[in-house]
């Protein structure tokens, strides 16, 4: 049985999302033209970017032209700053194939009744080493780039379910704060993500301690969007049980099937990913001062405050 990857909103759901995203059908093409013209005038940024991606950025910033410009600038800046995330993005490479066999993190096919996209992230191997973290983040951003291309009508936001079942003290000791900082800046400041909820399942005192350490560095609104579940049944109060995979008591496709479908999809984008490697900021041409990456990523020892829409 083939498994869909990105079911799109239609009908009444899309009408509700359109209102939430502040989309005006009469002005969106003009907004797109404005952003394209702005991009052409930036000496340090690519002259052209796919219209579908630009529309995703406009929707993700609720059609605020200034927010859209900042996100796009950061998007191309991160592609220069983090080559470990944005080069060699070929899913058939052994190191990426290996990660997909040990970590699952693809979006579920459907949408919640209010148009949210749900992604469940979990590890399958208790012995997985944290030196694969950059490739895990690379895969997550590859999926993000596919969504920029394919979510043609946009979604009402994102919900992430983090399964901590295989996380151990050894894993936490091996985590790279720099890699995590870079990834968080990528996701929250360079991609048009509207993060609505984070749910943590199969938790433990260790995970809860980690969350409490991170919380002071998060803005208040995101703190209030983190939910810890001692029982999987309480997750159903936020996400319809029927759309969840069978591993979580739902009637949807299994995470294995969803992961395999995404692996096939990513393979079809191999040439696209290769071509995209040249689309990045050229700091030497940036008006004013070049970006200071140490400041951007908080490499002085402090976490950068996350910017949440």
Strands 195-201 and 226-228: parallel
Whether 6 is covered by a domain: the verdict is no
Closest by CA position to 149, among listed 81, 218, 57, 31: 57
Closest by CA position to 188, among listed 284, 83, 94, 60: 60
Count, in order, helices (H) and strands (E) of the chain.
14, 6
* Percent of the chain at pLDDT exceeding 90: 64
216 pLDDT band, cuts 50/70/90, is low
Q: How many domains does the chain have?
A: 1
Rounded to a whole number of angstroms, the distance between the first and last alpha carbons of the chain is 37
Q: What is the mean pLDDT of residues 134-147?
A: 95
Predicted local confidence at residue 213, as pLDDT: 65
Q: Is 209 helix (H, G, I), strand (E, B) or coil?
A: helix
Q: What is the mean pLDDT of residues 176-194?
A: 85
Which CATH number characterizes residue 224's domain? Answer: 3.40.525.10
Closest by CA position to 58, among listed 25, 100, 98: 25
Whether 112 is covered by a domain: the verdict is yes
Q: Is 226 helix (H, G, I), strand (E, B) or coil?
A: strand
Asked if residue 128 has pLDDT above 70, the reply is no
Predicted local confidence at residue 214, as pLDDT: 66
Whether 1 is covered by a domain: the verdict is no
Asked if residue 74 has pLDDT above 60, the reply is yes
Distance CA 13, CA 113 (A): 7
Predicted local confidence at residue 302, as pLDDT: 41
Whole-number Cα distances in Å, 73 to 65, 136, 159, 238, 306: 12, 24, 25, 34, 17
Residues with Cβ within 8 Å of 84's Cβ and at least 6 positions away in sequence, in order, are 134, 138
Predicted local confidence at residue 187, as pLDDT: 87
Asked if residue 300 has pLDDT above 60, the reply is no
**Residue 18 lies in domain:** 11-309
Q: What is the pTM of this model?
A: 0.91
Whether 300 is covered by a domain: the verdict is yes
Beta strand ranges found along the chain (DSSP E): 103-104, 107-111, 117-123, 158-163, 195-201, 226-228
Whether 116 is covered by a domain: the verdict is yes
Residues with Cβ within 8 Å of 63's Cβ and at least 6 positions away in sequence, in order, are 21, 22, 23, 24, 27, 28, 31
244 pLDDT band, cuts 50/70/90, is very high
Show contacts of 49-54: CB within 8 Å, 24+ apart.
49/279, 50/148, 50/149, 52/148, 52/149, 52/150, 52/152, 53/148, 53/149
Closest by CA position to 108, among listed 266, 205, 253: 253
Region of poorest pLDDT, from 61-65, 101-105, 137-141:
101-105
Distance CA 128, CA 131 (A): 9
> Are the C-beta atoms of 136 and 103 separated by less than 8 Å?
yes
125 pLDDT band, cuts 50/70/90, is confident
Closest by CA position to 36, among listed 59, 52, 18, 19: 52
Whether 2 is covered by a domain: the verdict is no
Strands 117-123 and 195-201: unpaired
């Amino acid at each position: 049985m083939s498994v869909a990857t990105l079911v799109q909103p239609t009908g009444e759901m899309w009408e509700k999302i359109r209102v939430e995203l502040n989309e005006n059908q009469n002005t969106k093409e003009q907004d797109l033209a404005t952003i394209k013209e702005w991009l052409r005038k930036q000496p340090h940024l690519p002259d052209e970017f796919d219209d579908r991606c630009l529309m995703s950025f406009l929707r993700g910033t609720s059609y605020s032209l200034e927010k859209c410009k900042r996100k796009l600038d950061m998007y191309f800046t991160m592609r220069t700053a983090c080559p470990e995330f944005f080069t060699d993005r070929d899913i058939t490479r052994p190191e990426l194939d290996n990660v997909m066999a040990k970590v699952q993190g693809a979006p579920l096919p459907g949408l919640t009744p209010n148009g949210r996209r749900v992604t469940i992230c979990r590890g399958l191997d208790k012995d997985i080493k944290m030196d694969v973290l950059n490739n895990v983040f690379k895969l997550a951003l590859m999926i993000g780039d596919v969504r920029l291309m394919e979510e043609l009508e946009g979604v009402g936001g994102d919900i992430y379910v983090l399964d901590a079942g295989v996380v151990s003290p050894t894993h936490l000791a091996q985590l790279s704060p720099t890699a995590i900082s870079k990834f968080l800046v990528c996701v929250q400041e360079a991609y048009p993500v509207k993060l609505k909820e984070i749910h943590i399942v199969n938790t433990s005192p260790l995970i809860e301690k980690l969350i409490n350490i991170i919380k002071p560095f998060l803005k208040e609104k995101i703190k209030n969007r983190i939910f810890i579940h001692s029982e999987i049944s309480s997750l159903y109060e936020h996400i319809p049980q029927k759309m969840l995979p069978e591993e979580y008591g739902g009637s949807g496709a299994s995470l294995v099937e969803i992961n395999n479908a995404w692996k096939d999809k990513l393979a079809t984008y191999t040439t696209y990913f290769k071509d995209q490697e040249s689309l990045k900021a050229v700091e030497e041409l940036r008006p004013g001062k070049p970006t200071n990456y140490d400041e951007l990523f908080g490499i002085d020892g402090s976490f950068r405050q996350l910017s949440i829409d």
